[in-house]
Structures are given as structure tokens and as C-alpha cells.
Structure 1
Amino acid sequence: MKITLLLLGMGAFSFLSTWPLIGHCQYLNPPEVVIPLRIPGTSTEKKITGWVSYSLHLEGQRHIVHMKAKKFLVHRHLPVVTYTDQGTVHEDQPFIPRDCYYHGYAEGDPKSLVSLCTCFAGLQGLLYINDTFYEIKPKNLSTTFEHLVYKMHPREVQSESFKNVPTEEDTGNEWQMMLQENNHPTLKQSTIGGWFVHQFWYETGFVVDSTRFAYLRRNVTAANMEIISVVNIVDSYYKTLGVDIVVVAIDIWTHIDPINSTTTRELKNAFCTWKVQEYNPRVHHDAAVLVFNRPHGDEVTVDGNWWGLCKASLCCTVVYHSNDNQLQYATTMARGLGILTGLYNDSRYCTCEQGQCIMNTSLAIANAFSNCSFSTFMWATWVQRNCPYNRPLKVFHTEYCGNGVVDAGEGCDCGTVKSCAADPCCAANCHLKAGSGCASGLCCKDCQVLDHGTVCREQVNECDLPEWCNGTSPVCPADMYVEDGKPCLGKGFCYGGQCNNHDYQCKKIFGPEARNADVKCYRLLNPVGNRFGHCSRNRQTYERCASGDVLCGRIYCENVKELPVLKEHETFVWTHLNPQHCWSIEHHFGKTGPDIGAIPDGSPCGVGKFCKNRRCVLIPQWSKNACSPETCLDRGICNNRHHCHCSSEWAPPLCRRAGNGGSVDSGPPPKSNRTRDSGSKGGSLLLILIGILLFILCLLIILFILNKKRKEDQQTEPPPPVPGEPGAPLPPAAAGPAAQPPPGQAGPKDKRKK
């Protein structure tokens, strides 16, 4: 096996190279110098699923770590807010690397944990191997890819970390009583083994105070990357609970702190007040964390509002951190978020696999939640209902020129001064540059609006419709598609712009030879109501299919010849119902991506019926006043807004007069469409007619010339001789028998013989 040295873009992120140089390390043990080696893909499966592997020697032993990129750690449009010395807010959306944060494990150690960042031309983060914590970071100014590995001990820092958070004993086991009142078996589970995680998202905003910013040498990039790197470690802890920590915004108190306090509790209360007034109006979040570097007399390192998650005035916690120890930092932050979640301080009856649990009251380094935390978390999220089940979609932003978003009154917005300098269309003052007609949009190219009739969104399938530019706006019309319920692919129906049926879905999952299974599979398996067969689910249970809805639950296929590589939380299920073979994909609550085993809306489930929201319903018959083939005079089809999309020979809105096709929603098609489509027959007939006329004309000319020549020949021909004159031929009757030569004379033959 070939092992090569990993060199992670030394120049690509040179602007970040100063970050590891910043800081004032306070480690108790000297580091070990190692050189990580990247191992090329060890298997086809790991290449497909995105796993990468490294080899490194720690304390004389070789370890192989396998890890995979963490997705969606940072919001796509992360707003970073700084403040001028006058307190004016300045929002930016700087470039933040998003594909260089990894989670993984060490080969041969089932309890291991790896959480690394590769954004800084090296590896940086946490290694938990053989019950030992290590922190790894690139060695400054090394030219041979050397790294420093610090062996950490939980006893390195021992102080009271947080107060005023109850334990189960403090509340008289109130939480256990609540669990007993709820008969749901999952909520009563209190052991880590067999834990069946769901999926939650903590949309978290972070604020760095002026003391921490000064500690980082007033480097904005360093402050951003420190937050994200530590959150990557915290996210690996919360992964066991099924929680994704998502960084949605970062505020940096650049010059002075807008709040004052003498104790950590006062700081937390003041931060919550500031957050409600200044932060909530511009950032959507479930939790807000203030990181401060100034010690307080109470020696409390983390404080927050217990069970304040998702509550606008209470979802705030403060975290104290004064050095570069990322593992200590991550433990403290994990506890702060745990307080907001409603987790109790661990009592003497709480245990975890690593021995030191995250919600323990001492500030010992930890990376695991206890059995008590698991049970409390399940109850807390059950009570929360809507939050934190919502997947992050949107972050509010402050409207100003330079935020990269075109707000009201702006012609464009190219973002930072540096990005505007490279933008050929948009100026830094959010106005178009001289000679520019536009700066963005599907109908904008080379700073000019595309011509009338230029296609800006192609038709991608039978149930989709194209759109064209109108010649005046850089924005392409909204994406239109065929009205739901139109037949497609022979035995499916259009729904949401897609043509779906059971056969097509089986081929997408199991290959081109797969096909829809016998209805027996659906009738026997989908009414069960578990993760292998069901029609719907709520947050805790699966709902069985009614007899009329079995074709709208889970997909079942047969004639399966190949098994493709699946993503996380996807498992093949094979059930033998003699003589039927039923292949499917299971589903459980830990799945975060699309459910490929669910039958999509629009799949047929009976005569005149299709699936919608996992139910078999009648295909809607839209009234003729809205749109129908008759409304469009059979010269077009109805789109999703119930308007006629006319064929290329007719004009909207009702396809009554000649035109170029399209609809009132699609933008105007080019005139060439009509010439090419509706005019093609007329043009061909005209060419044929012209050809025939030319042929006839040529034929007439030829006949005329021949006739004229014949007449001229007749006029110049001499008259025939008169009979009896010399040279006139004898009549056949007068000639008589052939003349014989006179006696004594030889004929011609005789003469030749002589």
C-alpha cells in the first residue's frame, strides 16, 4: 500500500496560517512531535462514502484514524458582525472553509473519538484513543508537516464549573416522575446501549467579547476559526444525542463590551438582556453563547438558563475560556449548551463509558454524556415539540450596502471591498458600474440583460416546462411545471414537476432491471407500522397504512440484481413471502437526508388515484374555469398555476390566436420557435411547389426549343426529285427482277475472282 505525506493546500489557506501562531499555550505536559501520513483510499466503499484515513505514531504505537467530512457545521451565509469604536454595526459574510471539518474513529478502538479540522494546512483538534485525550495541532513554521500532540489529563483543570443547575436528587426525581407519566417506551429508556437517536438541530449564535478578541491579537479570522473549530469538537459530543450544532452567526465585540458585570451570573443576565434587544431582531437562533476571557471572583466558568433552549429571552449561556486548550474549551461549551437543553448536573448515580461525563460539576475534560443526560434529553426534546426539530433554513441579516444581499433600494451588492474590486458589474456603493445593465440573475450575462426569448431554464423532464428571458429583467421567471395529475411515462402522474411511479423508483434504487414488486408485499408489510413498513410517522412512532393506502407507504421491489452503496442510516430489507421477494429500504428517526424508500407523491395507487402525503387520493379534477385541456382548446397544457402553456403555434393566455407558445408565467419564447415548428410544413410545401413549377417551366422551354428546331429543319430541307429525271429513283414496280449482266460480261463477283 502506498502511503503519501499529506500537504493540505499550504498556499490555498495562507491567509489562515497566522491563526495557529496566535495564543499563549498553557499545557502541563510537553508535546510529542509526529508527522501524520495520509493513506490513500483503502477500499472502494470508503472512496464512495467520503472517508479518509491517516497514520500517526503516538507514544510509540501506530494508530490509524478514519474520518469523514462533517456537513452543515456552518451556515451557508454566515454573518460575521464587528463593531467600530463608535459602536456602529458592520456585517460581513467572509469566506469560511466548510469542507475541512471531520469526525471519525481510531481503528481497533470502538470507544475512540476523532474530531479534526484540516483548514490550516494540517490537522487540528481532538483525538480520544485508548481512554486518553490528545490534542493535535500543526507545528509552527514546520516545513516537514510536523505536528504537536499534547496528551491531556482530566485532572489538569479542577474547579467548580457551573452552579445553580439542579440534579435529579435536588428535584426529588421530578423528571423520573414525568417519564413515568408518559407511557412511551423510548422515553423511559435510560441506558446508553441500544440508544436510537433522532435528529435535532441547534441553530447557535456565538458572541466573542473584547477580552477574548484581545487575547487573539484582535484577529477577526482567528476569532471566527477558533469558534468553528471548537464547535466541531462539541458537535462530535452531541452527535451521540442525534444533535447537529450549526453555527448561524458570529458577533465580535471588537472594542468594548456593551455590558458590565462582576460575577458570572450577572454577566449571563446582562448578556440575555442585550441579546433580546440587539441580537434577536437580526439573527434567528435556538441558542446564543457568549465567550469571555475575563475572570470573575466567583470562579464559575459557565452559566446559563436551565431549559432555556428555543426560548427567545432565555436561550443564552456564557462560557469562560482563557487559554488555547481546545478540549477544555469544548467541554465547557458542551456543558453550557447542556444547561440550555435542560440537562441536570450528574449525580453519583450517573455513569458514562469514559468515566468522566460532560455534565459532571467539575471542569474535568470529558466527551461523553451520562445515562442520566440521555434520559433527560429525550424528555426535554419531547416536551419542546417543534424546536429543535426544525432544520436550519434562514438567518436574518442587517440591511446595509456590503452584506452581499441585494436589499431594497440597491441595484446590486458585491459584498466586501475586495470582492467588489473583482466584480465587473457592481460597484462598492451597491450601484451598477457604468455600462452595466445587471450584475446577477439567470438572465444576466457579461453585465447585460439577455435578449428577449433567450431560454434561461431548460425543460428537464416530461413534467417540467421551460422559461425564457423577457429582455428587460435579469431575473428568470419562476420555475413552472405541468399541473399535478397529468399522465406521464405511460403509467405515472406528474406531481411537483416530477414523474413518479413505482417501477421508476425501483430502478433508481436497485438498478435498471428492478421492477415494482407484487401487491402482496404492500398488503402484508406496510400495515405493520414499524420502520420497515409504514405510511407515516410522528416524532416518536410509526403509523401503519390503512388498507386503501398500502401503495403509498414504503416501496417494495423485485428482480433485484445489484445492491448499490447506501448512505448513512439506510439499510436494505429483504422479505420472502413465498413465492414473492420484497426488497425495500428501512427508515428510522436518525435519518437526516431524503427518504429514498418512501413512495413519492404522484405515484399511481388505483384507477384515477395517486399518492399524496402518504395517502391514496383521487386525482384533482380542476374546474374548467381554472384550467383544463378544453380551456386551452387542446392547443396546450395547464401549468402549476392553472394557466395554459400553449404549444409553439399559439399564444397565451388561452391559445386562441397564433403565436410562439409559452404561458403568461413562462416569459416569451423566441419567434424562431414558430418558424421552426408551425412554419416548417408551409415552408416545405412552398419549396416543393416552386420546384414543380421550375421543372414544368424547364420542360416547356425544352419543348419549345425542340419544336422550333424541327420547324427550321423542315424549311431548309430540299424538295424530292421528280420521277424520270436523272438521279430519281425508280419505282419498286418498274425496277422488276434484278438485272442480269449481258452475256460475256462478268458481274462484280466474277471480276474479283479474276
Structure 2
Amino acid sequence: MAARPPPMPPARALLLVLAGALLAPREARGVSLWDQGGADEVVTASVRSGDLWIPVKSFDSKNHPEVLNIRIQLESKELIINLERNEGLIASSFTETHYLQDGTDVSRARNYTVILGHCYYHGRVQGYSDSTVSLSTCSGLRGLIMFENETYVLEPMKNATNRYKLFPAKNLKSVWGSCGSHHNTSNLTANNVFLPPSQTWAGRHKRETLKATKYVELVIVADNREFQRQGKDLEKVKQRLIEIANHVDKFYRPLNIRVVLVGVEVWNDIDKCSISQDPFTSLQEFLDWRKMKLLPRKSHDNAQLVSGVYFQGTIIGMAPIMSMCSAEQSGGIVMDHSDSPVGAAVTVAHELGHNFGMNHDTLERGCSCQIAAEKGGCIMNRSTGYPFPMVFSSCSRNDLETSLEKGMGMCLFNLPEVRESFGGQKCGNRFVEEGEECDCGEPEECMNRCCNATTCTLKPDAACAHGLCCEDCQLKPAGTACRDSSNSCDLPEFCTGASPHCPANVYLHDGHSCQGVDGYCYNGICQTHEQQCVTLWGPGAKPAPGICFERVNSAGDPYGNCGKVSKSSYAKCEMRDAKCGKIQCQGGASRPVIGTNAVSIETNIPLQKGGRILCRGTHVYLGDDMPDPGLVLAGTKCADGKICLNRQCQNISVFGVHECAVQCHGRGVCNNRKNCHCEAHWAPPFCDKFGFGGSTDSGPIRQAEARQEAAESNRERGQGQAPVGSQEHASTASLTLIS
């Protein structure tokens, strides 16, 4: 039996050496490690423990260090890879779910610190500032190494101990495919970036919204066919899903978005909804299952299905556009089309991009991509080839910004409790954990003057070190605005005076009337027919008369319908649901402004008293696998007191907004958490007493100091304390409710 290796050095790092001879060594920067079409190379790995080097096969797989250094030895040079464990990847609410033979679901919280060890890493290649690395050490070494605009894959060899393959990503075995981004009643139209800037939601550009880190609490589900394709090995499937999430998180970090995995689920007995080769119906089935079954038992922002089914045609993924955070549409389906998890990870990132409001990169959009097309291009390309794309284009960044400005993603700004992330507590990991007052990283990298990096405690006279409500090491006063409302259905947040963090984002309850707009709020956005007509036809466009919707959408054909019911059939709209079908407009430009693949569908309807009405619809040529994006968006007002849901005109009473508003005594509005957001001079929770406005969720609207100063001023004038709701405070009322 081998002797126990000496303890870890103080730096808490292991050094793994991968040794191997490459047929075409890299001799200078800018030259690929491989010639075109180069074969896979076999390398071995060793672990440095103290002064000893030991094979990876002897490495304790349950002990994964926080910092890891890998050296890849080539014929004429070496690459040093610096890695850090991806501490924020797996949340404490993380659960693994599978099923017994009788269909009973088994969910368990799995502490990766104790059982398996946190074995997912991100990092860079030393000396290459543009490099990025995403690896796992769960079962040997596996992952991506990207530098100098080239991508390489490291994988364990089958049936071999301590032997690995290192090869260009273009050599991965995969199925060439494309995305069928799915548009229906809860989507924006394709290519909505063509919308003129003047037609975006009225309101100021919210810098803090764009700069703030967004968190996607993600669930990944593997269907039964995927379980079978992975050898019916439950642990292997779960590990593959987590590895996919680790790569996706790496792809999104440059966009200031973190992907936090809250659950994986494996349908190891049977599929829980119908998954077929038809990607359209499979997506609808999965999204319905998510809403009805998954959401009630597992809180999350988005769910992606990884399927082992080969979809019809060239489609390898499909997702609704701009649907993030929606109960009905926040998700997608992905075909696991490659031997490596990297392939599915790229497609998940692509479909997640559609959920974020990103459209395909096309030539006419003039997108800028830092990676040449022959080397993979960018993630939102319509088709996926070799090698896989791993970065986002300028168009994707612009689409994301536009979506955020329109109010998309209301659930993404809630800062998760850092203690909810597994990986072990440690001062210096940039996570403020239990017992710590702050954490600014290791002493040599800490730039925060409020925090003692050695002890993770606040410096003398400092009250805080992090957060939007912390300034110059002190808490901002209660009532200080920390997040403005982004649109007429969003609510602002204010510092509480007790926490350095801005309260979680909240917005108006679904079904609430939009301020100054003839519509209703839905998922934090005010959708109207007029806004959608302007999106499709440009300035000057407006909704057509009701007879246009009724006549056109009763046809049940590609040009007038209430959505697809299968790949090639369409639903006729009932009279009451006509305004939830294909949108009909008048005026605007001579042709649709949403892209070159959109055409005008004009219908002339004769009137009984003579004359005709011109109805203008749109048809976008997207292929049989993709529904037309000209359908009315979910949440759009279709009649007084009614809203479009699931392509039906339904009463807003289904949301319970009126019952919720009663408790606010006419002095506030109901937010999405069913709590009152009170006017400036009334106190939550029920707006029935004098106070400082706001809600229990979003903080007080007015600063307490303003009231105290006013009271003191009144006493000095001998007037006593004025009522909190007096006219003297009317100037502060501009802070109330929504901008």
C-alpha cells in the first residue's frame, strides 16, 4: 500500500501534470497546437502533493482543492492552467431527483462538500489574457481549454487508467444542427433588435440594471432516452447535467450573468411528459409539465430539458423568445447531440439566450464576433457546426440590454444568500459566509478598503463593505433609491438602512392596470396591441379594428390562427379569442421592420355599408419547425378586464389582483408577492397607518431623516409635529410607485 502523501502546502493548491508528445507542437503564439485535422493525442496526469508526484488514479476523488494548477507538457513547451473551484455553481437548495419503478419521485439534497466534493472549476491559461477554461475533476479530468481563438477538449480515455485525450474541439463527434427558436403568445417577435430606439419602453436607461449581476436559478432535466443513452447510469447522467451547467455558467459570465444550479432531474423510469421527434410539440409538453408539476415543488427561474431523442430535420434545440422568469414559457429543449457534454452545453446556452431575448446572429444584422466563423463563431448563430461556438456576439449583448430595458427577467436580480452555495467555507473566496462580515478575496487581491482580507471582518468604523446600499463603508440611509423601476409595471427598491444590499426586485401584481397605458401588467411588463404593431411596422402603426382580428384569425391557416397545434396544423380562433391570435395592424412602414424574412399579409374586408378595411398581418419565413412570431403576446389586453393567456382571452380575475388590492386600503398597490406597496406617507404592510411608504419587500420610499428634520423645524416654529401626510411633504410624493 502506498504511503500517505504529505499534507497540502499553505497555498491550498494541487498541481496536476499532463505529459504527452504532440505530433505538431506549438512553436509560436498564433499557431494552432494541431495541424488541420490533427488526431487526438494521449496524455497522462500526475498530482503534486508536497514534494511528491503521484498518478491521478491515487488521488482522493472526494478531496477537490479550492485552487488547482494543471500543467500540460507539450514537446517543446508547456501550458499552465490556473483553476478555481466554481463556488457559486451549486446552491444549497440544490436537489437531485429520480424515480422509483412505481413512479414515485425521490428528491434529495446532496452536500457536495461531504459526499462527492465540489469538482467543477473555471480558470485561465497562464500568460493568455483572452483564455478561458472550464473543467471538472469528478471522474478524472474533463472539459474545455480555450485560448488564442482555439478551443481544445480534455477527456478521460475509455477503459484506460490515468490516460487522457487532448484534441481540438472541431474533432468532436456531433450532429450538425440548427435552432428552432420558438415564438408564440408569450414571445417577442424575431429580430426585435430592429425596433427603433425611440420605440423602446419609455423610461430612463437603467445603468444599475445592466451593471448588476443577474442570477439564473436553473433546473436541468434529462429525459428517459437520455438516461438510456448514458448506459442507464443514474450518477453518470447527473454528473453530465452538472458539467453542462458549469460550462454554461462560464459562457455567461462575460455578460455579468451567473447560472446557479438549483436542481437536476432524471426521468429514469418513463418520460413525465410526451417527448417525441417533433421538437415543437415536445417543447410545448415540457413547458406545460414545468408549469404544472415542476414549479409547484421546486422554485426556479428556468428549466432546460436535455433529450436523447433525435429531433426531426436539423433541429437540435428550441426555446421561446424573451420568456425568462415566465411561469408558462421560461425554458427550452435541447438534443444531446455530441459525445462530449460540451455540445449540449453550447445548445443550452443558445436556447437560454433566446429566453433572455437574444435573436440569431445573421449577416444583415452586422453582428461583431471575436471568433471567426471557421473557428466556431458565436453562440447565437442559427446553425451549430465544428468547432462549437463559445462566446456571445455584439448583437447578443444588445439584445440582452434591450430585453432588460423592457422589463424582462424580473426574477434575476434577487441576490442569493451566499451561504446557499456549496464548496466549503473559507475566508478569501469572495463569498460572505456565516461568521464573516465581508470577503474581498485573498489579501494580495483585495481592493476593498472597508474589509480586512485576512480576517474577513470589517475595518474599524466601517459598517459595511459590499452592496448597492453601502457607500464609503457606511450604510446608505433608509429610503435611498437603489434600483429604479424599469417600466410602468416595475416597482422601485429602496435601501432599508439596516442592510448593505438592495432588496430583491419586485413588480406589480399580474392583472394590475398599467400606469397611463391601456393595458394590464403581466410578468412585470405592460403588453399592448399598439406596442406590438409599432414593433412590427414601425412608428405610426396601430391596431386594426376588431373585425380584422375576427375575420383573419377564424381561418386557422398560417396567416390567421390562434397558434400551432402541431407541426403543420393551426388552431382557429373562437370569436372571443380573436384578439389573442395573429396581430392585425394598420399604418406604419410599407413592409415589416423586423427583418428581411418577414412579409406583409394584407386582407381587405368589405363592410356592409360599403367600403373596405385593410388589415395588415405579418408572416415570417422561419421553417416548418418554427411558429410565426406575429402572434399576440401573452399578457396583452384583449377586452376590458381580460388578458391573453394560452391564446385565450381570459378574465384578469384569475390572478386575484382585486382581492389582493383590497388589503391596501386604497393607498397602495399589490406587488407580485401579494404584499402592499404603499404611497409615500403610509406604512406597510396594509397602508392603514402613517409611515414612509414602500413595502415589506422593497424598503421605505422616504428617508427617516427628512421626517425628523421637518418635525424639528415645525417644533422650532411652535407648530408642533405636522401630520406625516401633510402637504409640507408633498414634494417627496414623486418618489412613490412607478416612474
After TM superposition, the score normalised by the length of structure 2 is 0.48
Q: Which has the higher contact order (CA 8 A, sep 6+)?
A: 2
- The structure that is strand-richer by fraction is 2
Task: Look at both structures and tell me which one has the larger radius of gyration over its CA atoms.
Answer: 1
After TM superposition, the score normalised by the length of structure 1 is 0.47
